[in-house]
């Protein structure tokens, strides 16, 4: 490059040419001790430093940045590990549940106690009056009523996080003294849509659209597979109770 420039005055060596040459020849300064010692670069402190000092400074900045990124990754890994342990404990207890009410109670205790959130709802679709009273964390609603209130929120496969409308939050978490401000909602599907799993926080920004849903999906997949037999058992018990009530009224 230098020979061509010296024999042909019309050739202009640009800064990009120098950069490209040094990139192609990273060992250039190994052969240029005197040049390396004579090069000086401005420093933030105002004094001039050698190229080697500048390289050392850049390497230290890169090292500090990598350390910071590694620290963040380690913290994320620890956070995910804690979430996994809590999710595993929740599902261990859920698997042992023998009724919908027991399942809903276990979920509510875990979400509020272990996860430290404000509310949980297990919403199952049933042929009930839309004004039926919630049974703890268990909410039984007609599918049409849920469709009317939640619309497209029922169409997806994954968790949806956000603040939602006030009437939607009240539908998911009825009869609450302190209103829920943000929600994570997961449809429960096993073939058909069986219901919903909802977690609520009184903090408006706690759940937002950017949140990951890995653990919510993990929990909801298990709930979806456990729900059908429990729903069938719940329906059978309700039918027996209704028949007994009619017999008692007829006497």
| Highest CATH level, class, for 97-250 | alpha beta
| pLDDT value of residue 119 | 92
Q: Is 173 a residue whose pLDDT tops 80? A: yes
Confidence of residue 130 (pLDDT cuts 50, 70, 90): low
| pLDDT value of residue 117 | 92
| pLDDT value of residue 188 | 92
Name, in order, each residue with C-beta under 8 angstroms of 42's C-beta and a sequence gap of 6 or more: 48
Return the minimum-mean-pLDDT range out of 129-138, 155-164, 233-242. 233-242
Return the minimum-mean-pLDDT range out of 17-21, 126-130, 142-146, 168-172. 126-130
Reduce the DSSP state of residue 160 to 3 states and report it: strand
Query: Rounded to whole angstroms, what are the CA distances from 15 to 12, 19, 83, 201?
Result: 10, 6, 52, 57
| pLDDT value of residue 183 | 93
Q: What is the pLDDT of residues 52-79, one digit of tens each?
A: 676 777 788 889 999 999 999 999 899 8
Report d(CA 182, CA 211) in Å as an integer.
12
Average pLDDT, the chain: 81
Q: Is 120 a residue whose pLDDT tops 90? A: yes
In the chain, domain spans? 2-49, 97-250
Confidence of residue 155 (pLDDT cuts 50, 70, 90): confident
Query: Rounded to whole angstroms, what are the CA distances from 191 to 147, 184, 188, 195, 251?
Result: 17, 22, 10, 12, 43
Q: Is 172 a residue whose pLDDT tops 80? A: yes
Q: Is 124 a residue whose pLDDT tops 60? A: yes
- Taking the whole predicted model, whether its pTM rises above 0.75 is answered as no
The C-alpha angle 43, 48, 54, rounded to 5 degrees, equals 60
**pLDDT top residue among 8 and 150:** 150
Q: What is the pLDDT of residues 5-41, one digit of tens each?
A: 555 556 688 888 888 888 888 777 767 767 766 766 6
Sheet holding 192-201, edge to edge: 138-141, 119-125, 192-201, 182-190, 160-162
Q: Is 82 a residue whose pLDDT tops 70? A: yes
Mean pLDDT value of segment 86-112? 91
Query: Rounded to whole angstroms, what are the CA distances from 70 to 76, 79, 93?
Result: 10, 14, 35
Report d(CA 94, CA 222) in Å as an integer.
9
Report d(CA 49, CA 51) in Å as an integer.
7
As a dihedral over the C-alpha atoms of residue 118, residue 135, residue 212, residue 92, rounded to 10 degrees, the angle is 100
How many CA atoms lie less than 13 Å away from 143 in the CB half-sphere?
11
Q: What is the pLDDT of residues 196-250, one digit of tens each?
A: 999 999 998 898 876 667 788 888 889 999 998 888 887 766 555 555 555 556 6
């Amino acid at each position: 490059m230098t020979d061509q420039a010296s024999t042909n005055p019309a050739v202009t060596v640009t800064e990009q040419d120098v950069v490209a040459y040094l990139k192609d020849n990273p060992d250039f300064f190994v052969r240029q001790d005197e040049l390396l010692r004579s090069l000086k670069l401005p420093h933030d402190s105002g004094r001039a430093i050698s190229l080697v000092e500048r390289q050392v400074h850049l390497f230290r900045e890169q090292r500090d940045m990598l350390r910071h990124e590694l620290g963040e990754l380690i913290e994320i890994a620890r956070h995910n590990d804690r979430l996994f342990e809590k999710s595993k404990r929740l599902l261990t207890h859920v698997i042992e549940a023998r009724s919908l009410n027991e399942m809903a109670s276990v979920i509510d205790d875990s979400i509020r106690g272990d996860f430290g959130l404000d509310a949980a709802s297990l919403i199952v679709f049933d042929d009930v009056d839309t004004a039926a009273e919630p049974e703890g964390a268990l909410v039984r609603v007609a599918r049409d009523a849920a469709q009317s209130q939640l619309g497209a929120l029922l169409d997806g496969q994954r968790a949806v996080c956000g603040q939602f409308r006030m009437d939607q939050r009240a539908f998911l978490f009825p009869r609450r003294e302190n209103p829920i401000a943000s929600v994570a909602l997961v449809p429960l599907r096993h073939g058909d849509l069986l219901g919903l799993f909802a977690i609520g926080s009184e903090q408006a920004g706690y759940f937002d659209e950017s949140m990951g849903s890995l653990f919510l999906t993990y929990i909801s997949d298990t709930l979806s597979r456990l729900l059908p037999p429990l729903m069938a058992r719940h329906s059978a018990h309700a039918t027996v109770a209704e028949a007994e009530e009619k017999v008692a009224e007829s006497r």
